[in-house]
Amino acid sequence: MIYADNAATTKMSEAAIHTMVSLAQETWGNPSSLYTAGQRAKEALEEARSAVAAAIGAEPREILFTSGGSEADNQAIRSAAELGRKKGKTHIISTAFEHHAVLHTLKKLESEGFTVTLLPVHENGLIVPEEVEAAITDETALVTVMFANNEIGTIQPIREIGAICRARGVLFHTDAVQAVGHLPIDVMLDNIDLLSASAHKFHGPKGVGFLYARKGIRLTNLIEGGAQERGRRAGTENVPGIGAMATALTEAVAGMSESAKRLSVLRDRLIAGLSEIPHSALNGDATKRLPSNVNFCFEGIEGESLLLLLDDRGIAASSGSACTSGSLDPSHVLLAIGRVHDVAHGSLRLSIGDDITEADIEYIIQNVKEVVSYLRGFSPIWRDLVNGKKAFIL
């Protein structure tokens, strides 16, 4: 199988598996226990915290371990909202193409009296810092903008947005689930107050993540019931998972620049190859995107059938069609960058990883071409487009 869905999840690294197993076998004490076995687990936990902190330029005490990116997003936003509410600030700024962990939390806050401004992401899938600045009011409690988009891979001007927020005294959170371990991040230089990450996106285990909260920012608990994580997240810590996350992150950061260089070349070849398909379009800016991400719309076909046929040919990918997102509408990200429903249904996301070869890239290009052409061959929409009964959109 050629695995081209690393934005959905990644395969655990050997080193991370080793850490996970060895902690489960040998360091299974409860970190809250006083005796030696418990304290050894506590040490493993704190070593992991230091490693994670070092990977993003933070201090260990600024790292809170969570069950993943969604929990971190929820807690970051909820905490900033509570802090704002105490000062009478009930306005939050975000973007139209955030992950649902952010958007759904904001929806909930709206029902509790908050006002939410969702900034446009434009055709290239990029936020304009000046538009963030213009949206900030005296009521603004939080700006939350994702670091890199999970579907179209566009990388946002985080440092500039952070600088604006800092100058205006507004908290800044970034959902960095797709960026941590893949892009250089320094929370100090990047002016980030709150950051969410998920281990399984950088070859760590599922069910583990972390929230960075700059010291001095008081977090609101989502889970009550114990003094773990400085009282901000109750529940016995997932020591093997957390340790494995730290191993995976350290490894990812060490190999980051080399991996990015290699993947960018392969990504660009993939983009060039797929661009040869008539009436197709790349989604998101061609250069300000994750080295791993390629996302296309193909007019006249539907994404799920494309994915199933690619799966038959040994290629694992994903799509933003309604039938794969499981809702009435196609991907909210594609709609946010202005793709109309008709073409958004025919989208394909390929997110490549370090194990991919040049031959794999050529194989993908060839097979996507064949499958798109095959499906267009009996698509009534395609027939109407070709016969001039309907105008091409792409």
Catalytic residues: 323
Angle at the Cα of 274 from the Cα atoms of 318 and 334, rounded to 5 degrees: 45
Q: Determine which residue in the list 321, 336, 339, 352 makes contact with another protein, applying CB under 8 A.
A: 321
> Which one, 282 or 381, has the nearer CB to another protein?
381
Alpha-carbon distance values, 231 to 73, 109, 347 (Å): 18, 24, 44
DSSP secondary-structure letter at 318?
B
Q: Which two tokens stand for residue 348?
A: 């394909």
| Distance in Å, CB of 10 to another protein, minimum | 12
For tokens 């395609």, the residue is: 382
Cα separation, 308 vs 315, in Å, equals: 9
DSSP per-residue letters across 48-74: HHHHHHHHTT--GGGEEEESSHHHHHH
Provide CB contacts within 8 A for 379, sequence distance 6+. Answer: 300, 301
Of the candidate residues 160, 268, 285, 304, the single one contacting another protein (CB under 8 A): 304
Taking CB under 8 A as the binding criterion, the range among 87-95, 159-167, 260-268, 323-331 that sits at the site for another protein is 323-331
Give the DSSP H or E segment for 262.
helix 256-275
- Shorter beta-carbon distance to another protein: residue 177 or 361: 177
Binder of another protein out of 71, 190, 193, 302 (CB under 8 A):
302
Considering only residues 353 to 382 of the shown chain, the ones binding another protein according to CB under 8 A are 378-382
Under the binding rule (CB under 8 A), the answer on residue 7 touching another protein is yes
**Cβ contact 29:41 at 8 Å:** yes
Span from 10-18, 261-269, 281-289, 305-313 in contact with another protein (CB under 8 A): 305-313
Instruction: Give least dist CB 152 to another protein, A.
Output: 13
The residue among 282 and 393 lying less far from another protein, judged by its C-beta, is 393
CB 95 within 8 A of CB 146: yes
Applying CB under 8 A, the span of 51-59, 84-92, 182-190, 301-309 interacting with another protein comes to 301-309
Residues 212-241 that bind another protein (CB under 8 A): none
* 79 vs 93: CA distance, rounded Å: 15
Sign of CA dihedral 207, 208, 214, 218: positive
Tell me, by CB under 8 A, how many residues bind another protein: 34
Of 209, 179, 202, 201, which Cα lies nearest the Cα of 192?
Answer: 179
Q: Which of 355, 45, 335 has its CA nearest to residue 203?
A: 355
Binding residue for another protein (CB under 8 A) from 43, 138, 312, 362? 312
Q: 């001007």: which residue's tokens?
A: 157
- For residue 144, the minimal CB distance to another protein (Å) is 18
Shortest approach of another protein to residue 69 CB, angstroms?
Answer: 9
Tokens of 139: 């009521």
Site string for another protein, 84-113 (x = CB under 8 A): ---------------xx-------------
Site for another protein in 44-63 (CB under 8 A): none
Strands 2-3 and 315-316, sheet pairing: parallel
Site track 326-345 with another protein (rule: CB under 8 A), x = hit = xxx-x----------xx--x
Whose Cβ is closer to another protein: residue 166's or residue 383's?
383
Residue nearer to another protein on the CB measure, 105 or 325: 325
Which residues here bind another protein, judged by CB under 8 A?
7-9, 99-100, 150, 300-305, 308-309, 312, 318, 321-328, 330, 341-342, 345, 378-383
